[in-house]
Structure 1
Amino acid sequence: MKVLHLLKTAVGASWALRQTRELIKLGVEVHLALPDGPMVEKYRAQGVEVHILQTALNIKKPWANIKLFRQFRQLVADVQPDIIHSHFVATTLTMRLALGRNDPIPRIFHVPGPLHLEHGLFRRVDLWTASKADYWLASCEWTRQCYLQNGISSERLGLAYYGVDIEAHHGQNTGKLHREFDIPADAPVVGNVAYFYPPKKYLGQKRGLKGHEDLIDAVDIVAQQVANLHCVFVGGPWGESHAYFESVKAYAAEKQHGRFIFTGTRHDVQDVYAELDVAIHPSHSENVGGAVESLLSGVATITSDVGGFPDLIKTDQTGWLVPKADPQALAEAIRDALANPDKRKQFAAQGYDLAAYLLNVKNNASDITRYYQALIHEHALTPKNNSENHCETTV
C-alpha cells in the first residue's frame, strides 16, 4: 500500500512525524510532499520518501497555483499512490483542484482542527470542492459530528486522533523553573504551554486563538484572593507574530494582581509541567491541543469547552471544562482546582488513563491503516464513473 501525505510545513508538526513513522512500521509505503525545512531529514531518517514541494494553495498569489497544480499532478503521476492523505485545508484544496473531480484516487482530508468548520465560508469551500473520491478523517468528535450535520455520510467519514508517544510525557520535577524565575516553593503555580497566535481579524477575532488574554484576566481575578499566585506562559510567537507576543506581555504587565512569567520557547516542557499545580488551556478553537500533554504529564487540567477538549476533559472526572472567552468562569475553575489538592490528584490520574487510551500513536496508526484498507477495498469494488457528488450543507 502506497500513500502520499501532504504537509504545508517542515517546521514543527511533530504529530505528522510520529504518525508516518508508525504507518511505516505497519507496512505502509509512505511518501510525503512538503517544503524544505528542519523536519525533512527527520522524516527521511524514519524511512519516509520525501518530495520537496509546497503543496499548500497560494491564496495571496493565485496565479502561482497554475504552476503548483502542474507540479502536483506530475508528482502524483510519478508516485502513483493508492491513496492521497492531506493534513491541512490549504493542501487539501490543492489536491482537489489540481486533480479535478474525476480522478479516481481516493483522497483523505485528515482534519487537524475544527477552526475552518466554525466559519461558514470556509466550511462551504471544504464541502463544495469535494467529489466522489474525497473522504474525511476527523481528529476529534466535534469535527466528526460537524461533518455528519453538514451532510457527509458516515461511510465517507472516520475518526483518528493525532497520537503521541505516551512514554515521552513523563517529566521530572527538578525545581529548575522555580529556581530560574525565583518562584517561592510554597507559591501556587498555574501555567499554559502554547505558541502565541495573533487574532485573525478577517474572522472577527479580537483575542488570540489560544486565549492567553483570558487566562491573564482570570489569574488577575483569582490572585486577589490567592496569595502569591504565579502564572507561567511557556511558548513564543508563532511565525512572524512577535508584535502580538509583546502586546500580550504588556497586557499582563498592566495587571495589579498575580505574577506573570513568560519563558519563551523551551525544550523541557515535560519537566515544566511537573512543576505546575494546574495546567490551563483556554483556547478559543482547538483540537485536543495541549490537554493531552498536560494529562500525560500527570497534571490537573482546565480547558475551554471547544473542539476536541471534551474528548479528554470530562467534568468531575478528568478535569474542569469552562466556556471559552469567559475569564470569570475560568477564574472559578482555577480557584476550585487550587483549593482542592485531592481533587486535582484524582482528576489528573483519571485524565492520564483516558489520554493514554485515546491518544496512543500506535493505536491511532492502526486505525488509519484499517481506514486505508477499507477505502482501497471499496474502490476496488466500485465501478468507475464520472458522476459528481456535491455535498449538501446546512447553514
Structure 2
Amino acid sequence: MIRRIAFLSVHTSPLAPMGGNKTGGMNVYIRELAQELGQRGFHIDIFTRRSDQSEPDVDRRIGPNVNVIYIKAGPITPLTPDEHFPYLSEFTAHVMAYAMRHNVQYDVIYSHYWLSGWVAAKLKETWGTPFLQMFHTLGYMKERIRSTKQVMPNQRIETEMHIVEWADRIIAATPAEQAQLLWLYRSRRKKIEIIPPGVNIERFHPVGMQAAREKLGMAKDKQLLLFVGRVERLKRIDTVLRALADLGERDSDILQRLCFMVVGGDPHDADNDEMSCLQRMTDQLNLRSYVCFAGAREQDVLPLYYSAATVVLMPSDYESFGMVALEAMASGTPVIASEVGGLAFLVKDGETGFLVPTKSPERIAERIRDLVVNPEKREKMGEQASHLAQSYAWNQIADRLLDSFNTIVKRGAAGES
C-alpha cells in the first residue's frame, strides 16, 4: 500500500511566487495535489533545486505531511530550465543522500517536466522505485511553433524521448497530449493515461461580479478583460492588444467600456523583453487608457480577479492544458482561448466560452464584443463553465492518480513491465 511519495520538480518550487518567468500551472498543480494527498495522510516529499540563500532546507507551508525539500545543485541563483541540465547528477546524488540520511523509502516517484524525468530515471536505477512522468509541456510542440528553431536545444527533446521509454507510466493532461506523445515520441499507447489537472473549487468559485469588483476597487462602469499568466511571447498577449485596436476602429463606444488587465510578470522589469514590447505596443496603438499591467498576484487573490472579469483571455500559441482557463471557469467566468492543445479540449466553444484561431485579433474582437453587448449570454456561459469545472475538483483527480500509482506499484511488485 502506498504511503510515501516523492515528487520531483527540479527547476521550480511549488512555493515560488506566481507570475514569475517560470512559474505557472505546473507550480499550482504540484502544490494543490500534494496538499490534497497530504490531507489524506500520505507523506509527500517534494524535491526542488535551491535557487536562493533564503530558502530553508525544508519548508512545510503547503500543509500536513508535505515537505518541500530544497536541494543544493549548482550555483544558488535562479537558472533557466536548460541551465539546470549540467547539475542533474548533483541533484540526484543529494536526493539519494537525503533519503539515506533520513532513512526513508518511497513507494513511487511522480516527476514533473523533462528535467525531473531524467532524475527520476536515475533514482529508479538505484532504488528500484517506479516512476510516473508528467511533462506539462513538450519540447517538440514548442519547437514546432517557434520562428527561431535553435532556441530549443535538441538535448531536451532527446531526453524526453528517453523518458518516454524509461517511465513506468506517462500522465497526459488531454487526448491532444496523448496524440502528441504517440505521434512525435512514439510512446507505447498502453503506457499513457489521460488524467487532467484539477482545480481547487473551494478557492475558485463564483463570487459575484459586482462584489468582486468592489473588493478590488474597480470602476463599476468598466468591463474587465483579464489575462493571467507569464508574460512571454508564447502567450500572445499582443493579439489582445491588436483586438482592442480593432474594436476601437469598428466600435469606439465598446472600447470606451473596456479595461484589459494583464496579471503576471513585473511591469517594471527592464530585462523582460516581452513586457517592454507589449508596453511599447500599448502606446503605439493609443491604448494606454484601456490597458493595465498589474504585475503578479498571489493565488489567494486570483479568485476575485476571475470573478470580476467579463471574460478571461488566453490567446496562446500553445498550452498543454491551461490551468488559468480551468480556474476562470470554476469562478464562473467564460474564456476566449486559442484552439490549441489543452485549451481546445477544456473550453467548450459556444458553451463555456469561445475558441478562436491563433493570432486572430479580429475573431477575438468579435467575441469580446459579443459578450459585452450580451450580458445574458455571458452569464449563461459562466454558469455552464462553473458547472463543468466541478468535474475537475482535486479530490476526484487525486483519486484517479492514486489508482494509477497503485497499479504501477503492484505491477512492479509482481515483476511485470
The Cα of 1:354 is off from its aligned counterpart by 1.1
> Could you tell me which of 225, 228, 251 is aligned with 1:190?
225
**CA distance in structure 2 between the aligned counterparts of 1:143 and 1:70, rounded to whole angstroms:** 31
- The total of aligned residue pairs comes to 369
Q: Which residue of 1 aligns with 2:47?
A: 33
Q: How does 1:1-395 map to 2 (within 5 A)?
A: 1=2, 2-8=4-10, 9-10=12-13, 11-12=16-17, 13-36=27-50, 37=55, 41-43=59-61, 45-53=63-71, 59-60=82-83, 64-75=87-98, 78-96=103-121, 98-99=122-123, 104-114=128-138, 116-119=140-143, 121=154, 122-149=156-183, 150-170=185-205, 171-172=207-208, 173-174=210-211, 175-176=213-214, 179=217, 183=219, 185-197=220-232, 208-224=233-249, 225-227=251-253, 228=256, 229-237=258-266, 241-256=271-286, 259-267=290-298, 268-286=301-319, 287-357=321-391, 359-382=392-415
| Contact 2:88/2:115, CA 8 A, preserved across alignment | no
Which amino acid in 2 is paired with 1:194?
Answer: G
**CA distance in structure 1 between the aligned counterparts of 2:138 and 2:85, rounded to whole angstroms:** 25
**CA distance in structure 1 between the aligned counterparts of 2:370 and 2:46, rounded to whole angstroms:** 46
**CA distance in structure 2 between the aligned counterparts of 1:292 and 1:39, rounded to whole angstroms:** 33
Change (3 A) 1:157 1:320: same
Choose 51-60 or 328-337, whichever is displaced more.
51-60
Change (3 A) 1:54 1:353: farther
Gapped runs of 5+ residues in structure 2? 18-26, 74-78, 145-153
The Cα of 1:102 is off from its aligned counterpart by 8.4
Change (3 A) 1:315 1:156: same
**CA distance in structure 2 between the aligned counterparts of 1:94 and 1:110, rounded to whole angstroms:** 13
Change (3 A) 1:147 1:130: closer
Change (3 A) 1:61 1:269: closer
**Percent of residue pairs identical:** 20
The Cα of 1:330 is off from its aligned counterpart by 1.8
Which amino acid in 2 is paired with 1:230?
Answer: C
Change (3 A) 1:220 1:139: same
The Cα of 1:341 is off from its aligned counterpart by 2.1
Choose 127-136 or 336-345, whichever is displaced more.
127-136
- Relative to total residues, which structure has the larger helix share, 1 or 2? 2
Change (3 A) 1:16 1:383: closer
**CA distance in structure 1 between the aligned counterparts of 2:80 and 2:244, rounded to whole angstroms:** 40
Query: 1:96-134 CA deviation, whole Å, 9 max, x = no partner?
Result: 3x3476874211112223455443744443123444553
Choose 161-170 or 28-37, whichever is displaced more.
28-37
Which amino acid in 2 is paired with 1:6?
Answer: L
Q: If the length of structure 1 is used for normalisation, what is the TM-score?
A: 0.82
Q: Secondary structure of 2:335's match?
A: strand
Gapped runs of 5+ residues in structure 1? 198-207, 385-395
Computed over aligned residues only, the root mean square deviation of the Cα atoms, in angstroms, reads 3.1
Choose 151-160 or 35-44, whichever is displaced more.
35-44
The Cα of 1:161 is off from its aligned counterpart by 2.3
Q: Secondary structure of 1:192's match?
A: strand
Query: 1:239-281 CA deviation, whole Å, 9 max, x = no partner?
Result: 9854432331221121135711122223432222222222211
**CA distance in structure 2 between the aligned counterparts of 1:345 and 1:302, rounded to whole angstroms:** 14
Q: Secondary structure of 1:354's match?
A: helix
Change (3 A) 1:126 1:362: same
| Contact 1:177/1:272, CA 8 A, preserved across alignment | no
| Contact 1:280/1:302, CA 8 A, preserved across alignment | yes
Choose 149-158 or 301-310, whichever is displaced more.
149-158
Q: Which residue of 2 aligns with 1:391?
A: none
| Contact 1:232/1:260, CA 8 A, preserved across alignment | yes
**CA distance in structure 1 between the aligned counterparts of 2:81 and 2:216, rounded to whole angstroms:** 45
Q: If the length of structure 2 is used for normalisation, what is the TM-score?
A: 0.78
| Contact 2:57/2:69, CA 8 A, preserved across alignment | no
The Cα of 1:363 is off from its aligned counterpart by 0.8
Change (3 A) 1:66 1:105: closer
**CA distance in structure 1 between the aligned counterparts of 2:33 and 2:359, rounded to whole angstroms:** 32
Q: Which residue of 1 aligns with 2:147?
A: none
Choose 229-238 or 313-322, whichever is displaced more.
229-238
| Contact 1:140/1:288, CA 8 A, preserved across alignment | no
Query: 1:271-301 CA deviation, whole Å, 9 max, x = no partner?
Result: 2222222221111221223111211111121
**CA distance in structure 1 between the aligned counterparts of 2:57 and 2:246, rounded to whole angstroms:** 41
